[in-house]
Structure 1
Amino acid sequence: MHALQYEITLPADYDMEIIRERVATRGHLLDHFPGLGLKAYLMRERADGSPVNQYAPFYLWATAAGMNTFLWGPGFQGIVNDFGRPVVQHWTSVAYEEGPATAAPPRVATRRRERLPEGTPPAEAVAEALARHARRAAADGVVASTLAVDPRHWELLTLTLWETPEAPASAGEEDERFQVLHVSQPGRAAIPAGRLW
């Protein structure tokens, strides 16, 4: 699995209804996209206490071919045409779990990024992160959660989808919070649970 996200930071006075309308009219286009596990259309806005207005879709790709078809095809070109070419962040997924609220539509997402500790063997740091991730994924209100690693920067990423309009306190104060506008999930049922190797 490949995790991928790009962030489009918008002006402080940007009308975020434009993003909502974009997702409402175009979000369904990836509902059956080959090779896509899931795409969460994420947004955060200053009006809700975010430091920025931002559109930040998050993808879990089941196949590299699907990811490449998207990146080098008309889907991503639409983003480039409308907003310029964003930096595409990517991670190797190391775990995926469905949560207790798996059947509910997610309403909010949390994202936590943390550096792997210096001096700790990578395998040990990832093993500890896997244990924390399993506990998080089992929390009340979790729809699904993934843990991924960027080995270039030695960064861990946890992206969790929640059924409630506000992430519970158990999400953690350091987590960034996003609204979930839509989820395309053509391959979600086939994403293997647990550790992905």
Structure 2
Amino acid sequence: MHAMQYEITLPADYDMGIIRERVAAKGHLLDDFPGLGAKAYLIRERGVDDSPVNQYAPFYLWNTPEGMNSFLWGPGFQGIVDDFGRPEVQHWTGLAFAEGSAGSAAKSAVRRRSRIPARTHLGGMAEELAQEAGRLARQEGAIYAATAVDPRTWEVLQFSVWDHTPPKAAGDVFQVLHLSAPERGLLPRGRQW
């Protein structure tokens, strides 16, 4: 599993209705995209859920590198580049994935990023992070949870999708406008090593 996200930060007075309309018109185009486990079409609005910015920031879980590459080198990502410029694409290698039990529509997502201290035992830390993904997914209203790491910067990413906005969420809270999940059932469960 590969996790991927790009963030397009928009002006403070940007009409976020434009992004909502874009997702309403185009979100379904990835509903059957080969190699895609899940794509959460995410926004943050300045002043909502403590967000300091207006932002469009889709988050992807890929089953295959071929699917990810097909998207990045294909017309889907080129449309983003044409409309907003080429954003930096962040990516992480998967540590764990867990399905939640919520069956209703996705409403919010929480992303938490943190650095791994230099003296941390990596194997023990990875096991703890995998268990945390499972704990998150077992909470009421959780749709799924994933944990990944960027070994270039030793950054941990914890990501979860919810059918509500969790109170006191630890991390950046996003609104989910659409969830494409053509191969979510194929994402490997539990720890991924």
Is the 1:117–1:125 contact (alpha carbons within 8 Å) kept by the matching residues of 2? Answer: no
| Residue 160 of structure 1: aligned partner | 160
Matched residue count: 192
- The answer to whether the aligner puts 1:196 opposite 2:192 as a matched pair is yes
- What residue identity is the alignment partner of 2:11? P
| Residue 89 of structure 1: aligned partner | 90
Superposition map of 1:3-22 within 5 A: 3-22=3-22
Residue segments in structure 2 that go unaligned for 5+ positions in a row:
none
Q: What SS does the aligned partner of 1:189 have?
A: helix
Superposition map of 1:17-56 within 5 A: 17-48=17-48, 49-56=50-57
- What residue identity is the alignment partner of 1:115? R
Q: CA deviation at 1:189?
A: 1.3
Residue segments in structure 1 that go unaligned for 5+ positions in a row:
none
- What residue identity is the alignment partner of 1:193? R
TM-score (normalised: structure 2): 0.96
Q: CA deviation at 1:51?
A: 0.4
Q: What SS does the aligned partner of 1:131 have?
A: helix
Aligned equivalents of 1:64, 1:192: Cα separation in 2: 14
Aligned equivalents of 2:26, 2:154: Cα separation in 1: 34
Aligned equivalents of 1:33, 1:18: Cα separation in 2: 24
Is the 1:37–1:186 contact (alpha carbons within 8 Å) kept by the matching residues of 2? Answer: yes
Q: CA deviation at 1:121?
A: 2.2
Q: What SS does the aligned partner of 1:91 have?
A: strand
- What residue identity is the alignment partner of 2:172? E
| Residue 183 of structure 1: aligned partner | 179
Aligned equivalents of 2:131, 2:63: Cα separation in 1: 23
RMSD: 1.0
- In the TM superposition, structure 1's runs of 4+ consecutive aligned residues that sit over 4 Å from their partners are none
Superposition map of 1:68-107 within 5 A: 68-101=69-102, 103-107=103-107
Aligned equivalents of 2:137, 2:156: Cα separation in 1: 16
TM-score (normalised: structure 1): 0.94
Q: What SS does the aligned partner of 2:13 have?
A: coil
Percent identity of paired positions between Structure 1 and Structure 2: 59
